[in-house]
Structure 1
Amino acid sequence: MTVEEIHGVRVLTVPEAGPAIRGGADALDLVAASFEQQAEFVVVPVGRLDPEFFTLSNGLAGEFLQKLVNYRLRVAIVGDISAHVAASNALRDFVRESNRRGQNWFLATPAELSDRLAGEVEAGPEA
């Protein structure tokens, strides 16, 4: 895993290669790594997520994201999820609502993450 600072935010990025990330136990591994690296934001490439993550009815996404939220970590799922979103109205709504808030984001590229974090810095803490 790599750690970098983006617009004053310490970000832990999960590598593209590795075992599939499924749920709560994997989230706790990321929590431990984040605390060890003093990161406040976790970036997970879409390719690392188990395909079942995008089937909301099984609870994997909710369990994974909730564990991170419980430890006050923010997360960005980065990559193309258009095929998953096209197949599920519930997922499309979940992604839209997540992106409106600041805790969990679904973004197409790392550049979008940088832009969003820059926007938060510009808006200030009251935004």
Structure 2
Amino acid sequence: MADTLRHLAGTPVLICAPDGAPLRGERDATDLVGDAYSHGAAWIACPVERLTGEFFQLSTGIAGGIVQKFATYQLGFAVIGDVSHHTAASSALRDFVRESNRGTQLWFVADTDALLARLARR
């Protein structure tokens, strides 16, 4: 399955395929930025399955580097799926998810319907 562009609440969102290449760091994020721009996307929705375990270990800096890359290019980033097993193991990650969900750049949502609802409230 290929990444596809969908319009959710009037916002062009690049929906990443669950079986695509893992998002391991800034280089992969840069590739995804190029894909998003070529599709005319304002947001990237990435299934949790595409993120490596290191993304959820904040001490690695991988999450910060990826999120910063998208912010630099003014792209929103949504992690789609259940991250509860990661947040249960790390209070720092739990706080990061909570704070991110209060903002406008990075959201952790259960599914694309939840992303649609968030985008509709903007």
Q: TM-score range by the shorter chain?
A: over 0.9
Deviation readout 1:75-123 (Å, 9 max, x if unpaired) = 1000000000000000000000000001000111111101111111xxx
2:121 corresponds to which residue?
119
* Corresponding residue number in structure 2 for 1:15: 17
Q: Greater CA radius of gyration, 1 or 2?
A: 1
Q: Which runs of 5+ in 2 are unaligned?
A: none
Give the aligned partner of residue 3 of structure 1: 5
Secondary structure of 2:23's partner? coil
SS in 1 for 2:20: coil
Q: Give the distance between the partners of 1:110 and 1:6, measured in 2 at CA.
A: 9
Is the aligned partner of 1:45 residue 2:47? yes
Unaligned segments of structure 1, at least 5 residues: 121-127
Q: For residue 44 of structure 1, what is the amino acid of its counterpart? A: C
Identity %: 47
**1:69-80 superposed matches below 5 A:** 69-80=71-82
- The secondary structure found in structure 2 opposite 1:39 is coil
Paired residues, number: 120
Runs of 4+ displaced beyond 4 Å: none
1:13-66 deviations in Å (ceiling 9; x for gaps): 110002221110011011101111110000000001111110000001000110
Distance in 1 (CA, whole Å) between partners of 2:117 and 2:6 is: 15
